[in-house]
Amino acid sequence: MHQEKLNSGQRKAVEFSGKHLLVLAGAGTGKTKTIISRAAHLINTGVDPSKIQILTFTKKAANEIVERVKSNLPQSQGNALNGATFHSWCNQLIVRYPNLFGAASYTVVDPDDQLSIMKMVCGNNKLEFGKLRIKPQQLIDVYSFARNTKKSLTQALRIKLFKNKEDADTDYELSVIKPHVENLLRAYQAKKGIQRYLDYDDLLLVVATQLGNNPEARTILSQNLDYLLVDEMQDTNPLQWQLLDPFVHICHLFCVGDDAQSIYSFRGADFKNVHLFKERVPDSEVYKLEKNYRSTQEILDLSNWLLKKSPIDYKKQLESIRGNGEIPQLINVTDEWQEANWVADEILKNYTDEDRSFSDHLVLSRSQYYTKSLQAVFIRRKIPYVTYGGRKFMQAAHIKDLVSLLRIVNNPYDEIAWIRFLTFQEGIGEVRASRILQQVIEATEGADIPEILQNAMPGEDGSKISKLYSSIKEKTNVGAMVDEAYEAMSLGLAFRYRRDWDEKRKGDFPVLKLLAQSYPTLGEFIGEGLLDNAEQMNGTNVLSESKLNTDEDKDHVIISTVHSAKGLEADVCIVLNVSPKAFPSSWSLDDLEAIEEDRRVLYVALTRAKNRLILTRNTSSISAVHNRTLPSRAGEKTSDAESYFLEGMPDNLVEQKTIAQQFGNVQDAATPNTIDLSSGMDFS
């Protein structure tokens, strides 16, 4: 991005010459442009591109930033610039410095594999304590939450299993289950170590621990890193802060974020990483970007008002560069079906009367489940749409089948991959696979895997698999490894997934090869590929009747949860069910921190709109908001009505409209009858 295209606030941040900087970038203020311009400015002023690292939360965002930096530099000048997600970058460091981090030949496991490992650890043990039953997935959730938030096991159990309840019964149950959970989590950690597995959190922990405890690690990394540029700083959690903290003394930090858009506390994100940046980072400054390029001023007036109502001082007032436009609408409805039909009417009217496309519309909701009635109406009225979500590319069963072969080549201790690959072979069930695996694991140290396979599987099967293993192991090109594996497994894959092989699955393997070719080593491909689960390689999940899953037709309404909408924007944004007990959620009413996160969720939703913002509200819930009280910060009681975010909203901020119930014409009796209440009860 050329310097003359920056406003004064952006230019000041881009040309910052101090040690560390936090850029508080409000919604739509050009934070991506600023971080791109910062990288280009550093390179133009003589900084080696290879010593600049850009960190963000999706690979797509990282790639976009890097490519846009390169497009504004002379040819090849920015080729050495690296952009990655936190987990991806840590994986790269672990692979690049195998001795330093001690994780050579470890396999990165995805959430499905984590669950498999935990189930192995739990075995047939039933964790039942009175009415409380703990499932393996809950153990993983507690384990991950504790590590990402740096909370104790006791705290994590109280939050994740007991929803923060504090009473004598809860304390007793907690004291009973904690030793059992601790034993299982310790066994899970040991199992990962034995089988050389790293889960996603381990990637960050391994690097953060070495950097925090080992001066040599800091020295080695400081030689290859001068500037660390962090995007979406408000989404970082305490573990990610632990990772970033040593770099305060290693290089220059340039962090961009918005504490008012921190909405991922359920993943452990802590808005204090932005809110307390200056206190935590010596020699740091904070600049603000408040000029908004996305929305009209009326949309920002409502968003600014929402933040000002918060007890947290966000110190920001967004100002539209584009000037004035339409006042946001607040549509009062009586139920979700009326809401869905009104939304469909509005979109079709815009499509026909205003010549807007379907893709000009973004519909946001707290949950995808809430939109089921809307989706049903869209299907019936033939409105094309896509939803954000669905199974990710590397998690699809047919992809995991093939990758299981590559995983055992990379790490012979990978029990999960061995079982998956062996049971894929015709005639091998789980019992036989377990016997083969036992022989492989026992003989792996100092032995040749193909030889072990032939001993464990006498005959044609063992010979075939051992030759395949050797053939893949000998290849240096990761794309060629995928080709070799596919050639060997394609018939089996086509048979196993015969119902939708040609239509859906077969075309994924050229994509897998293309992905593999971009990695220099098999270990990096397996680790990075798994980490890309946040990105859908095979396109958005299409649920509409028109099946818009081709590149030729991309005109569709987007239906998204607010949490999946970060980075999205649309000409017309419709936010569903901005009602009491939804904003804030009824689950949040006893937790003031949760209430404020819900406020930030709504703020994110409002600031997605460019020209027209529409909120819908269920009027049946409004009358119920005065019925209970909740504790406030100062200790006095406040009502649900006072916590409802739109309570007390000035009339001039929105244009309200109430949708009347539609009744058909009916013919009543000519004269009124007398009510008879004597029937219907037998008093004998």
CA atoms 270, 251, 55, 4: torsion sign: positive
Residue type, 562: V
CA distance 238 to 218: 20
**Strands 128-129 and 252-257, how do they pair?**
unpaired
**Strands 128-129 and 132-133, how do they pair?**
antiparallel
The tokens for 52 are: 């600049």
CA distance 554 to 557: 9
Q: What would the DSSP string read from start to end of 231-257? A: S-GGG--HHHHHHHGGGGTTSEEEEEE
Cα–Cα distances in angstroms (integers) from residue 302 to residues 263, 295, 313, 363, 597, in the given order: 19, 11, 17, 18, 17
DSSP class of residue 583?
T
Cα–Cα distances in angstroms (integers) from residue 543 to residues 341, 371, 393, 565, in the given order: 18, 12, 17, 18
Q: What would the DSSP string read from start to end of 503-517? A: IIITTHHHHHHHHHH
- Please check whether residue 587 is in contact with residue 375, taking contact to mean a CB–CB distance below 8 angstroms: no
3-class SS at 456? helix
User: Whose CA is closest to 119, among 184, 55, 60?
Assistant: 184
Cα–Cα distances in angstroms (integers) from residue 284 to residues 16, 22, 212, 262, in the given order: 11, 8, 20, 21
- Please check whether residue 378 is in contact with residue 544, taking contact to mean a CB–CB distance below 8 angstroms: yes
CA distance 306 to 540: 32
User: Whose CA is closest to 389, among 135, 531, 564, 191?
Assistant: 564
CA distance 103 to 193: 10
User: Whose CA is closest to 661, among 403, 388, 335, 320?
Assistant: 335
The tokens for 581 are: 């007990």
How many residues are given for the chain?
684
User: Which residues make up each annotated binding site?
Assistant: 25-32
CA distance 18 to 644: 43
User: Which residues make up each annotated binding site for ATP?
Assistant: 25-32
3-class SS at 381? coil
Cα–Cα distances in angstroms (integers) from residue 251 to residues 155, 278, 647, in the given order: 34, 16, 47
3-class SS at 205? helix
User: Whose CA is closest to 257, among 498, 13, 452?
Assistant: 13
Cα–Cα distances in angstroms (integers) from residue 352 to residues 127, 357, 552, 612, 649, in the given order: 58, 9, 21, 17, 33
- Please check whether residue 340 is in contact with residue 377, taking contact to mean a CB–CB distance below 8 angstroms: yes
Q: Is 328 exposed, middle or buried (0-12, 13-18, 19+ CB in 10 A)?
A: buried
- Please check whether residue 129 is in contact with residue 173, taking contact to mean a CB–CB distance below 8 angstroms: yes
CA distance 612 to 596: 25
Cis ω before 584 (30° cut-off from 0): yes
Instruction: Say which residue the tokens 């815009």 belong to.
Output: 350
**For residue 253, what are the β-bridge partners?**
228
Instruction: Say which residue the tokens 């220059």 belong to.
Output: 252
The tokens for 105 are: 């030949």
